[in-house]
A and B are shown apart, each in its own frame.
Chain A
Amino acid sequence: MSIDIDINKRLSNFCLHMSFREDSKRIGVLGASGAGKSMMLKMLAGIEKPDNGKIILDNRVLFDSEDHINLKPQKRNVGYLFQNYALFPNMTVSQNIAAGLKGDKEKVRSRVSEMVQKFRLTGLEDSLPGKLSGGQQQRAALARIMAYEPEMILLDEPFSALDVYLKDRMQEELMEMLSDYDGTVIMVSHSRDEIYRFSDTLAVVDEGKIISHGDTRKIFAQPETKAAAVLTGCKNISRAEIADPHVIKAVDWGITLKVKQVIPENIRYIGYRAHQFKPVWGSREENCVRFDLLSKAELQFEKNFYVKPESGSCDRDSMITWFVQRDKWDELKEKGYPDYLMFVEEDMLFLR
């Protein structure tokens, strides 16, 4: 199983250029809304046509502008789970599942009932999609895709239309239903939690380009670029200047950080995740910053503090977000606000 993509398309506000090769079976594509993620999926499925390039799925050419190959969506054997599921509203669940199936009636019927069982739709066979709950619709849409055994499945923001409390259940359900599927699955999302949970490898997309590509967990741990850091949820990013190989100045925060490792020369930003600050009481240690509290927000399981570093610049870029999880609240209550926040070297993100 492999997917090999190299596609270009001119869009109204930017040029989409995506090129990657991936052997992993669960691929996540993370990007902000309008970054070109859905467009990429549509080009894989054959709904949209790239201006040029090629798409190869398991040595099968789906699109090649040089050889004038552009397989119709009907011939690509690629399943597409739409954001709104796109179940045919005039057909029952069974008819929806059977819609793409060919061959003699008996075969189709047994395939449909197999899918109905597998996707826990028993009893809903004759219902119209309008009568189904969100979860049932997702299962029906997935059953319809799986029924004709696609080589690859594309998931286009599958959970974005759902209530928060349903999301978690349905993410679990989707993972479970896909667990015995052999082919490649590509999930596009702007939610880092969904992507982190689902994908083995990850492509981070910004303005139509892939800015990071690799193992999901590695990219979340070390995003390497500013855009990838933001998309993977890093709240604090400052412009940075390298003073010498072991000293980096965070310009917006007005602090100088000393590290043991050698900082690569092409680093332009430094990032630090809000959860990872170490509060320090008493005497100042290395890489500590004194701060003024600007505001705070109390959530169910964490407290968010928005602070201004002592010698940070005046604009909002200098603000630092510090999240404290519930289990640390007692310490905070007992000792009061810390005198300093400490940047731990292992958690610093050096970004391009």
Chain B
Amino acid sequence: MEELSIFLARLDWSPLWISLKTGVAATIICFFLGILAARKVMEMTGPAKAIVDGILTLPMVLPPTVAGFFLLLLFSKRRPLGIFLWEGFGIKVVQSWLGCIIAASVIAFPLMYRNARSAFELVDINLIHAGRTLGMSETKIFFKVVLPTAGPGIAGGTILTFARALGEFGATSMLAGNISGKTATISQRIAMVLQDQDYLTAGIWVGIVMIIAFMVIFLFNLVVGKTSKNVHRW
């Protein structure tokens, strides 16, 4: 027991904080972009809608390494956008914490977007019509009627987005690398220590991830489960 506590005290805890920070930052970005994208796509019609929807959902279906490949293509310091960001603003995406956030955001974004959209699509259109005929402004209708009505769906999407961003591995390792104390997230640390046959450290991190995952699912059920009171489902 004492050995374990010494071991835990010596353990480098930075991956936990990096993962949590990345998760929170990516969730905030996805929250706003996802809701915005959901609203915009809902207003579209015809083939444009299908194409944009497909592109926005793609990161969810693609292997993360493929997304990582495209991100590298985009942000590499030898590519136009990478050069522009580095020389113009001194912003480095590859091998940096910013890379972690971008990779996690891209991978987790479809979860937020999809959930927000299905939540919005469940809002009774007559509520919006009623708001308009009552003289409420579009902004007021959105914030006072649509968002609260779609609230549980959006909250559920946010939680799933956080969970996905927290555990991102493939795209992150390609774009941000595995720099200890800087870009090494929990998932990357597990992969790394396992290469050195260090099952104890890996096991501890696995335990931590499982606790977080369980809490997330619990929270999700708590938030989303509440709404289905008056609905009979099969």
Interface residues of A (CB under 8 A from B): 42, 45-47, 72-80, 82-84, 86-91, 99-100, 102, 130, 144-145, 148
By a CB distance below 8 angstroms, the chain A residues around B148 are: 90
Interface: B130 (CB within 8 A): yes
- Those of B117-175 within 8 Å (CB) of chain A: 124, 126-127, 129-137, 144-145, 148-149, 151
For A72, the chain B residues whose CB sits under 8 A away are 132
Which residues 184-234 of B have a CB within 8 angstroms of A? 230
B146 to chain A, nearest CB (A): 10
Question: Is the pair A148, B134 in contact by a Cβ cutoff of 8 Å?
Answer: yes
Q: A88-B145, A90-B145 are in contact. Are A46 and B132 (CB under 8 A)?
A: yes
Complex CA gap A229/B124 in Å reads 36
The reply to whether B133 and A47 contact each other, CB–CB distance below 8 Å, is yes
Interface residues on B, range: 10 to 19
Chain B 76-91 interface 0/1 with A at a Cβ cutoff of 8 Å (1 = within): 0000000000000000
What are 24 A-to-B residue pairs whose CB atoms are below 8 Å?
A45-B129, A45-B133, A73-B129, A73-B133, A74-B133, A74-B135, A76-B133, A79-B134, A82-B130, A83-B126, A84-B126, A86-B129, A87-B130, A88-B144, A89-B127, A99-B131, A99-B136, A99-B144, A100-B134, A100-B135, A144-B134, A145-B134, A148-B134, A148-B135
Within 8 A of A (CB), among B99-133: 124, 126-127, 129-133
Instruction: Say how far B112's CB is from chain A's closest CB, in angstroms.
Output: 21
Q: How far is the CA of A223 from the CA of B214 in the complex (A)?
A: 69
Q: Tell me which residues across on chain B come within 8 A of A84, comparing CB atoms.
A: 124, 126
Please determine whether B124 and A99 come into contact, CB atoms closer than 8 angstroms: no
Expressed in whole angstroms, the Cα–Cα distance for A144 and B133 within the complex equals 11
Q: Taking chain A's interface residues, is the majority helix, strand, or loop, or is none over half, making it mixed?
A: loop
Q: What's the Cα separation between A77 and B131 when bound, in Å? A: 12
Compute how far the CA of A73 lies from the CA of B125 in the bound complex, rounded to whole angstroms: 14
CB-defined contacts of B145 to chain A, threshold 8 Å = 88, 90
Chain B contact residues: helix, strand, loop or mixed: helix
Residues of the B chain whose Cβ atoms lie less than 8 Å from the Cβ of A145: 134
How near does chain A come to B126, taking the closest CB pair, in angstroms? 4
Q: How far is the CA of A77 from the CA of B135 in the complex (A)?
A: 7
Bound-state CA distance A42–B127 (Å) is 14
Q: Which 3 A-B pairs have the closest CB atoms?
A: A100-B134, A73-B132, A86-B130
Residues of A close to B144: CB separation below 8 A: 88, 91, 99
Nearest chain A CB to B111 CB, angstrom units = 24
Alpha-carbon distance between A87 and B130 when the two chains are bound, in angstroms: 8
Q: Is the CB of B133 within 8 A of A130?
A: no
Which of A79, A83, A88, A102 is within 8 Å of B127, CB to CB?
Answer: A88
How distant is the Cα of A93 from the Cα of B124 in the complex, in angstroms?
18
Would B133 and A80 count as touching, CB distance under 8 A? yes
- A47 near B127: Cβ-Cβ < 8 Å: no
Partner of A47, one of B129, B134, B135, B136: B129
**Set of chain B residues within 8 Å of A130, measured between Cβ atoms:** 230
Q: Is B132 touching A86 in the complex (CB atoms < 8 A)?
A: no
Contacts known (A74-B137, A90-B148); A47 close to B132, Cβ less than 8 A? yes
A47 and B134 alpha carbons, distance in the complex (Å): 12
Contact A100–B129 (Cβ < 8 Å): no
Name which residue of chain B comes closest to A95, CB basis: B144
Q: Contact check, A74 vs B149: say whether CB atoms are below 8 A apart.
A: no
Which residue on chain A has the smallest CB distance to residue B230? A130
**Complex CA–CA separation, A1 to B129 (angstroms):** 25
Q: Which residue of A lies closest to B137 (CB)?
A: A74
CB neighbours (8 Å) of B124 from chain A are 84, 86
**A contact residues around B133 at 8 Å (CB):** 45-47, 73-74, 76, 78-80
A102 to B135, CA, bound (A): 9
Residue of B nearest to A42 (CB): B129
Let me know if B149 and A100 touch, CB within 8 A.
no
Could you tell me the distance between the alpha carbons of A74 and B128 in the complex, rounded to whole angstroms?
11
Q: A46-B132, A72-B132 are in contact. Are A86 and B127 (CB under 8 A)?
A: yes
Q: How far is the CB of A274 from chain B (nearest CB, A)?
A: 37
